[in-house]
Amino acid sequence: MDLKSLRYFVEIARQKSFTAAAEKLFVTQPTLSRQIADLEDELGQKLFDRSTRRIELTEKGIYLFQQAQAILSLVEKTKLETMSTQDLAGDLTISAGETPAMDIVARATERFRATHPLVRFHLLSANAQDTAEALRMGISNFGVFNLPADIDGLEYITLPQQNRWGVLTRRDGPLAGRISVKPSDLAGLPLYFSKQERIRSRIAGWLGHPFERLHIVGSYNLLYNASLIVRSGGNAICIDGITRPDDEIAFLPFTPAFKTEVVFAWPAAAPKRSLTEEFLKTLRALIIEERAPLEEARSGDAVVQPQASPPEGA
């Protein structure tokens, strides 16, 4: 198996036609057919179902197609970085869960591109499980995780902004008139909840009772789609800052406040590349800048008050 055969295979899978793929690759159809036949012989598996007018991938072919795309993408990234002699160049891919903490990462990408215009960024929205898989397979360089999450084998930076949890609901719904939500307000309320399973035990700690006592009627992966259900009368436990409140729906924060951390992670075993290392420097510098005013405010609060003068004759 070599890169040429993988490129041929991927193009056939995309075009669903040997003829169209041969034209796109500027090779003859017999050459293409021979390459695929050799690849199938090497793997001992049929990759295409040729029984229909438009060829389709077999189950093994679908798996190879996914892996081949990741391999070719990594090769292209490596080539671009290696060939660059004057400035950093190439692609950086960031997989991220939905969170307003992504704001500082977005600002870091624009600051980085201002200095290194040959770098391209690709953002992938994904849940924690898919983000971790993308990092471990080399599809993504970095991942943004809403904790708690499985980040074993990953190095990470904790981002300054935390996720604030609460309920997204209709303004004229069962929580109308409230500005926040207490654990008792959720009793019997039909709720949609994120597929992020690891957060359940922490929610239970805030509730003061097992998570299973909540009336969970469904789950969601991306909050935008869940917000459409909220507009139709549903309620969703979620984090603030993803869907903007309007005349129909409102976000009501939990009280007492319930917040969770967000981290920016990368594989601990990944080879160090100048491109990724320089981007991490940019992000770290921006985080330090953002935290500096907070540290100054805290130190200002700790000013020692002058002591009163002792009375005369003391």
Residues 97-133: tens digit of each pLDDT:
899 999 999 999 999 999 999 999 999 998 898 999 9
Note the residue count of the chain.
Answer: 314
- For residue 272, name the pLDDT band (cuts at 50, 70, 90): confident
1-83: CATH topology is Arc Repressor Mutant, subunit A (1.10.10)
Q: How far apart are CA 203 and CA 182, in angstroms?
A: 12
Q: Which amino acid is at 153?
A: G
- The residue ranking higher by pLDDT, 238 or 2, is 238
Evaluate if residue 13 carries a pLDDT over 80: yes
Residue 137, both tokens: 């397979």
Q: Distance between alpha carbon 245 and the CA centroid of its chain, in Å?
A: 23
- Identify whether the C-beta of residue 161 lies closer than 8 Å to the C-beta of residue 100: yes
Angle subtended by helix axes 59-83 and 3-15, to nearest 10? 120
Give CA separation, 313 vs 306, 308, 309, 310, in Å. Answer: 20, 15, 11, 8
Evaluate if residue 160 carries a pLDDT over 50: yes
**Domain pair 86-161+261-289 / 163-259, same fold:** yes
Instruction: State residue 95's pLDDT score.
Output: 95
Instruction: State residue 221's pLDDT score.
Output: 87
Sequence ranges of the domains in the chain: 1-83, 86-161+261-289, 163-259
Residue in 81, 104, 105 with CA at minimum distance from that of residue 95: 105
Residue in 212, 193, 189, 211 with CA at minimum distance from that of residue 202: 211
Evaluate if residue 288 carries a pLDDT over 80: yes
- For residue 298, name the pLDDT band (cuts at 50, 70, 90): low
Q: How far apart are CA 140 and CA 96, in angstroms?
A: 10
86-161+261-289: CATH topology is D-Maltodextrin-Binding Protein; domain 2 (3.40.190)
Instruction: State residue 23's pLDDT score.
Output: 85
Residue burial 279-301, b: 16+ Cβ < 10 Å; e: rest: bbebbeebbeeeeeeeeeeeeee
Q: How far apart are CA 64 and CA 60, in angstroms?
A: 6
- For residue 311, name the pLDDT band (cuts at 50, 70, 90): very low
* Whole-structure pTM value: 0.67
pLDDT digits (tens, 9 = 90+) for 173-230: 999 999 999 999 999 999 999 988 889 999 999 999 999 999 999 999 889 899 999 9
- Residue indicated by tokens 């003068």: 309
The residue ranges of DSSP E strands in 240-302, in sequence order, are 249-253, 259-260, 262-267
Q: How far apart are CA 203 and CA 211, in angstroms?
A: 7
Q: How far apart are CA 88 and CA 111, in angstroms?
A: 14
Q: What percent of the chain has pLDDT over 90?
A: 52
Pick among 3.40.190.10, 3.40.50.970, 3.30.420.40, 3.40.50.720: CATH of 163-259? 3.40.190.10
Residue burial 190-223, b: 16+ Cβ < 10 Å; e: rest: ebbbbebeebbeebeeebeeebeebeeeeebeeb
The H or E element that residue 34 is part of is helix 29-43
Evaluate if residue 307 carries a pLDDT over 90: no
- Residue indicated by tokens 């991942």: 143
Residue in 88, 21, 17 with CA at minimum distance from that of residue 55: 17
Instruction: State residue 287's pLDDT score.
Output: 94
- For residue 295, name the pLDDT band (cuts at 50, 70, 90): low
- The residue ranking higher by pLDDT, 248 or 88, is 248
Q: How far apart are CA 105 and CA 94, in angstroms?
A: 9
Count other Cβ atoms within 10 Å, centred on residue 244: 8
Instruction: State residue 163's pLDDT score.
Output: 96
Q: How far apart are CA 282 and CA 290, in angstroms?
A: 12
Evaluate if residue 308 carries a pLDDT over 50: no
Determine the average pLDDT of the residues in 20-47: 87
